[in-house]
């Protein structure tokens, strides 16, 4: 348990840890590639280490020195693992690995922790079966453990109705080993790191606008070529410091090297719409991803906003911390079309509603989101994280601006994406945790 009290000022410069999505993909693509790849500024966290352990269990040689990885790729030919692969808390590990394993003729099984074993897998299992792989698991393949025996695949044309980047990525990875073309069309473009990184690894990727949205297409039989990848800072981690700085008078924070890919920066855009003062400085690109230094100036009055379904993919992981800003904004806010939040590391709609209410906010739960009527202050409360890293960090921010004491029931779960969160927070708030 951790006790949090109101902070007086938030000032300083910080490079938050590297992007989790990019770090997972850098390991997976390097392992699939031919030759020796180097990954710089890799995120060291429970989730990404689960991916690293899995590719090693498939026979990939990886040398890690701090945050630098040297990976000797298997050129699409892995070894049968001698034990079950454990994705722990990481949906990205489980789902992207299924895509990779579908290309391999051997038997493997993926499991996860108690949270991941509750999450839906059929969204990936079904298209991979359509491509010709054999997959089965609990609840007819919807729940982990899931076993895979892949091999000879054929390309498919898939409509990604939920705009899930994990589903799209799994299919594209499988598509590398399939016969013919594999195409994924989605109503709104979900995070496109896999497409960008495939190009970095020399794979030909076609993207086009369609009547129904966006399409990505690849031809099977391409073996990725080794590459050098620099991972940018994670916008989802930066979001907690942006929110905190916005809520504290006289604060100013500079967040360095943050990825501002338009499929990921919806939170920063939304916050600007609320009246928050936030700038992108020094815009540039690394390893195919746009990055910037983000300057935030606190104390501006925030007003309520709406998040519509089509905006959700670009800020999906930031909704818990966005809800804290909404609770303290003037007027009404609403999030709709976000039912995916129900099947994240926890039921994030329920967790947000329950915790905000216990802090004195006016919140109404919707099936696919929530409505919030802003209040002038929150009061300290006992926060149930449900072991969900983003709930823990979002409500630590809430506790730092609330009156009285807030208790976080399980602060350790931040290790999933941001092991040093409380150390970095101490650095810019001059508080100790």
**Minimum distance from residue 169 beta carbon to ligand S3P (Å):** 6
- What are the CA-CA distances from residue 6 to residues 78, 109, 113, 154, 302 (Å)? 52, 46, 34, 57, 19
**Minimum distance from residue 126 beta carbon to ligand S3P (Å):** 15
Residues in the chain: 433
Per the annotation, binding residues for phosphoenolpyruvate are: 20, 91, 119, 166, 348, 390
Hunting for tokens 């931040």 — which residue is that? 414
Q: Between 367 and 403, whose beta carbon lies closer to ligand S3P?
A: 367
Half-sphere exposure of 334 (CA within 13 A, CB side): 9
Percent of the chain that is helix, strand, coil (3-state, to 5): 35, 30, 35
* d(C-alpha 158, C-alpha 169), whole Å: 12
Q: Between 384 and 389, whose beta carbon lies closer to ligand S3P?
A: 389
Q: Between 119 and 384, whose beta carbon lies closer to ligand S3P?
A: 119
- What are the CA-CA distances from residue 314 to residues 64, 116, 267, 311, 328 (Å)? 31, 22, 7, 6, 22
Measuring CA to CA, which residue among 352, 398, 351 is closest to residue 379? 398
Q: Between 293 and 388, whose beta carbon lies closer to ligand S3P?
A: 388
- Tally of CB atoms within 10 A around 119: 18
Partners of residue 107 on adjacent β-strands: 149
**Interaction site with ligand S3P (CB under 6 A):** 21, 92, 164-166, 169, 191, 316-317, 340
Number of H helices, E strands in the chain: 13, 25
Among residues 317, 368, 420, 424, the one annotated as catalytic is 317
Q: Between 89 and 355, whose beta carbon lies closer to ligand S3P?
A: 89
**Minimum distance from residue 146 beta carbon to ligand S3P (Å):** 16
Beta carbons of 86 and 50 less than 8 angstroms apart: yes
Query: Which region holds residue 132: left if phi is over 0, alpha if psi is between -120 and 50, else beta?
Result: left
Per the annotation, binding residues for 3-phosphoshikimate are: 20-21, 25, 164, 166, 317, 344
Annotated catalytic residue 317: yes
Q: Which residues are catalytic?
A: 317
């Amino acid at each position: 348990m951790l006790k949090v009290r109101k902070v007086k000022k938030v000032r300083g410069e910080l490079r938050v840890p590297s992007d989790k999505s990019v770090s997972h993909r850098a390991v997976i693509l390097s392992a699939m590639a031919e030759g020796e790849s180097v990954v710089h500024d890799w995120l060291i966290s429970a989730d990404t280490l689960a991916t690293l352990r899995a590719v090693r269990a498939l026979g990939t040689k990886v040398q890690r020195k701090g945050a630098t990885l040297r990976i000797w790729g298997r050129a699409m030919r892995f070894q049968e693992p001698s034990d079950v692969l454990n994705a722990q808390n990481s949906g990205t590990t489980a789902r992207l690995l299924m895509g990779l394993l579908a290309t391999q003729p051997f038997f493997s099984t993926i499991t996860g922790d108690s949270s991941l074993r509750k999450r839906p897998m059929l969204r990936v299992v079904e298209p991979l079966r359509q491509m010709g792989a054999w997959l089965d698991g609990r609840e007819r393949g919807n729940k982990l453990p899931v076993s895979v025996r892949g091999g000879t695949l054929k390309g498919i044309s898939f409509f990604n109705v939920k705009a899930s980047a994990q589903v799209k990525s799994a299919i594209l990875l499988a598509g590398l080993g399939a016969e013919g073309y594999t195409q994924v069309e989605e109503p709104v473009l979900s995070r496109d790191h896999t497409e960008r990184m495939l190009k970095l690894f020399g794979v030909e990727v076609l993207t086009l606008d369609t009547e129904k949205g966006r399409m990505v297409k690849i031809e099977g039989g391409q073996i990725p070529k080794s590459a050098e990848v620099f991972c940018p800072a994670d916008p989802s981690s930066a979001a907690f410091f942006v929110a905190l700085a916005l809520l504290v008078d006289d604060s100013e924070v500079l967040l360095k090297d943050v990825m501002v890919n338009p499929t990921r920066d919806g939170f920063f855009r939304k916050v600007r719409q609320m009246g928050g003062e936030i700038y992108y400085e020094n815009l540039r690109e690394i390893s195919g991803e746009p990055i910037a230094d983000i300057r935030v100036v606190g104390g501006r009055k925030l007003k309520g906003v709406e998040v519509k379904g089509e905006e959700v993919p670009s800020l999906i992981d930031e909704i818990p911390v966005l809800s804290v800003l909404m609770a303290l904004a003037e007027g009404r806010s609403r999030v709709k079309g976000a039912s995916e939040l129900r099947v994240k590391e926890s039921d994030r709609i329920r967790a947000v509603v329950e915790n905000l209410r216990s802090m004195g906010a006016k919140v109404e739960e919707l099936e696919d989101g929530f409505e919030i009527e802003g209040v002038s202050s929150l009061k300290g409360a006992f926060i149930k994280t449900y072991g969900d890293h983003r709930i823990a960090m979002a409500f630590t921010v809430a506790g730092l601006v609330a009156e009285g004491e807030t208790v976080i029931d399980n602060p350790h779960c931040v290790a999933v994406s941001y092991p040093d969160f409380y150390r970095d927070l101490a650095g810019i708030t001059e508080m100790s945790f």
